[in-house]
Amino acid sequence: MPDKPPLVPFARFVDQPPELPVRGRDDHDGPEYVVEATVVDSGRDRVNLKGVTQTGEEVSIIIRVVAPGIVRVLLEDDASDPARVRLARELPAPDGSITLRRTNDSVTIKGEHIQVQVTLKPFHIVFFGPDGRRLLDQNYSEKTAPGTLSVLPFGFSRVDGERVAFHETFAAEPDEHFFGFGEKFTEFDKRGQRLEMWNYDPAGVHYEQTYKNVPFFISTRGYGLFVDSVMPVQFDMGLSNHSVSGIIVPDSALDYYVIAGPTLKDIIPQYAGLVGSYPVLPPKWALGLWVSSGFDHDNADKALASARQLQEHDVPCSVFHIDTYWQRHGCWADMQWDRAAFPDPEGLIRELKAMGYRVSLWMNCYMGPESEYYPVAKENGYFLMSPDGEVWSGDLWGNTGYHPPVCIIDFTHPEAVAWWRELVRPLLRMGVDVLKTDFAEAVPLDVVAHNGMSGLQLHNLYTLLYNDIVSDLIAEETGRVGLVWGRSSYAGGQRHGAQWGGDSICTFPAMASTLRGGLSLGMCGHALWSHDIAGFHGEPTRELYIRWAQFGLLSPLARAHGTTTRLPWDYGDEAYRIFQQYASLRYRLLPYIYSHAVVAHETSLPLLRAMVLEFPDDPNTYAMDLQYMFGADLLVAPIYNVEGCRPVYFPAGRWIDYGTHEIITGPQTRWIEAPLDTLPLYVRANALIPTLEAARPIEEAPFTPLIIDAYLLDHGTLRLHDMDGVTSVSAAIQGSTLALEYVGPHKDVRLRLVPLLGQTTIEQVTLNGLVVPEPEHSENGLLEIRLCSP
């Protein structure tokens, strides 16, 4: 029974949103919903309607084509609310053709890639793709056998005479599946689930409650839907009634956008453009390994010792992170160094940089009462306030007494923002490169902000304000993109760059849930995602450490961090060797990873891709959430158990085992047994994978020399993005000839033909139509062709 409480209540230290209307069988008054409408006025791309509910109440409805593939639907009662927060940006008028056709009983607006048909009486909205195929339509018809309405249709509900929420209900087709909603840790296919858009610190990764909520989803029918609200929107995706999907919006309007594909990959960029937020293009060093000194009592000597050990053990690492204890306990987070533990922070940063590291520091947006800056902030009203006019204070560290109660910086207060920026700025001028923007999920319901917003209104918005401020300051001080490493987020938060999956415990189920969260977040266009290798809370076993490291080092961003050591040699020689093996693999793959980061920056398509995103026509992929595509061509199937075995699904086509070069033909599922040092990793046949010869320090310059590993059976192409532009490579086996085409700015590029079973013996090579007289061979005998010389 979905509405019964759990056996063990969820321990919450973040306020829950107010209860939304739930109607029982005897509640015969029912919701107010639109039954008919008349046209008030119309234009080329829109129609304004006066809707009438079943009891005669009037509402305003605006339906508009706002982009070639996007329709906006806005339902308000008597007047628009100027205080309502909107995250969708005003898009320029579509250039393509838009037509509006009216009859006595309907209005149809047709955009370039989407059309919407509105029947005026009885009121009904249907959305179609450009080919006329139905994408989505309202559902008013679901009733119980006695005739009681069992859905919440297009309208609103009141409690004690006060409107508490708008709502909408759509038909959920029998074969329809839904993905997205943010970093939800439940099963990837969200059909049969109820999703609440309310940021939590769930102190784990096993729940529907999560740090990053996004009121956006994608359907296998080829559409996406975004609800423009920062309030606790609730989606019921066939849980209460399997025939429908429902939305409840406790805001002053119902404002949603339907986005037509036709493919899932077409939907994500349109959504990103709608909220005006494509992922930043990170500096190359951010794609290397991040290693933390850990969430533990720390000091300069300990941090430097760890940094030196990484180099002594020849573990490639680009970013060294220092967590909470660089500040004084009880003062978190006033951005002031604990001078007892870190007597010379400037010298520490200089030394870390001299060793080749970029430096990351932890922060959050709260402040403890023991800080000398606390009285200044309190006196000037820089904290969120209680309704009685006193500063709000509470335990936001888990009700454990671990840290004194804290106050929350009011980022709606311009003077508070300016003051707080000046606390942060000196860190960047010392040489800190990136800040880990922790927390920001806990704005309580009963606070009042400087700009008049309630805690209910500010709760989800707060993380965007916080990360915007830090990101903008980093960009201002460094001249680079404002990369942050954030825990919480909301719609549009992909603009802040790096985000990690929160505070998982050290278990295999937590590892699996972490992957589910990352896949769901990726469907919302958040491309630069990561997680704590081996989990955050506790001490992982040797097996878990190794398996999670294999997964983490082939994630969009890679970081080792936790409450106990995450240095690989602390888990034994075998763990150290395997960690080093996969860290080196990551660094060799940096040209491939960076090229996909450029694509993400331009399109919001994630680096960690759900199988359904690459194979949307294969129903076997719809619920698949324990394997993924890393970019377009690498299939990764992490091992999530001590037995070292799992099923792996291979979609249609041919796949090549990265380690053995065995060719596997899909579609099929195989039971894979993987030794501890082996991650099930497969390459799409005919993929051209750009690599480096060996792991080495990352430079902010085009990768060189480049080696393109060609897993060629017949014909493959590569479009490689780098700092100097786009390089295009085509490779085809034509009889006994390997025909190569190369165009691009890179000056030192070789193509290496990976030997595969059944591959034709190559007797001649051509490059851009000319015969290559003497093809080279690598040290291990592989055919190697120089495409361009330095």
Residues with catalytic function: 438, 441, 503
Closest CA relative to residue 742, chosen from 690, 682, 783, 664: 690
Burial string for 186-213 (b: 16+ CB within 10 Å, else e) reads bebbbbbbbbbbbbbbbbbbbebbbbbb
Beta-carbon contacts of 105 under 8 Å, excluding residues fewer than 6 positions away, are 119, 120, 121
Query: For the CA atoms of 554, 195, 640, 651, what is the dihedral angle to 10 degrees?
Result: -70
Reading the block at residue 159, the tokens are 């409690």
d(CA 689, CA 707): 8
The answer to whether 666 and 722 are in contact (CB under 8 A) is no
d(CA 237, CA 177): 9
d(CA 240, CA 557): 38
d(CA 749, CA 5): 60
DSSP-assigned beta bridge partners for residue 771: 766
d(CA 632, CA 596): 8
DSSP-assigned beta bridge partners for residue 136: 127
What residue type is assigned to position 437 of the chain? T
Beta-carbon contacts of 118 under 8 Å, excluding residues fewer than 6 positions away, are 37, 47, 49, 63, 106, 107, 108, 124, 125
Reading the block at residue 654, the tokens are 């041919």
Reading the block at residue 767, the tokens are 């490059």
What residue type is assigned to position 74 of the chain? L
- Quick check: helix, strand or coil at residue 183? coil
The answer to whether 790 and 704 are in contact (CB under 8 A) is yes
d(CA 118, CA 322): 57
Which CA distances in Å does 142 have to 32, 153, 230, 268, 293?
Answer: 16, 10, 29, 31, 56
* Structure-token match 């390459």, residue found: 683
d(CA 616, CA 76): 36
d(CA 656, CA 633): 10
d(CA 126, CA 130): 13
Which CA distances in Å does 290 have to 293, 321, 540, 561?
Answer: 10, 7, 18, 8
Closest CA relative to residue 710, chosen from 674, 759, 769, 670: 759
- Quick check: helix, strand or coil at residue 602? helix
Burial string for 40-73 (b: 16+ CB within 10 Å, else e) reads eebeebbbbbebbbeeeeebbbbbbbbbbbbbbb
Task: Classify residue 412 as exposed, middle or buried by CB count within 10 Å of its CB (0-12, 13-18, 19+).
Answer: middle
* Structure-token match 């200089």, residue found: 350
What residue type is assigned to position 446 of the chain? D
Reading the block at residue 346, the tokens are 């400037």
Beta-carbon contacts of 154 under 8 Å, excluding residues fewer than 6 positions away, are 33, 34, 75, 123, 125, 138, 140, 167, 168, 169, 254
Q: At what angle do helices 508-522 and 542-552 cross, to 10 degrees?
A: 10
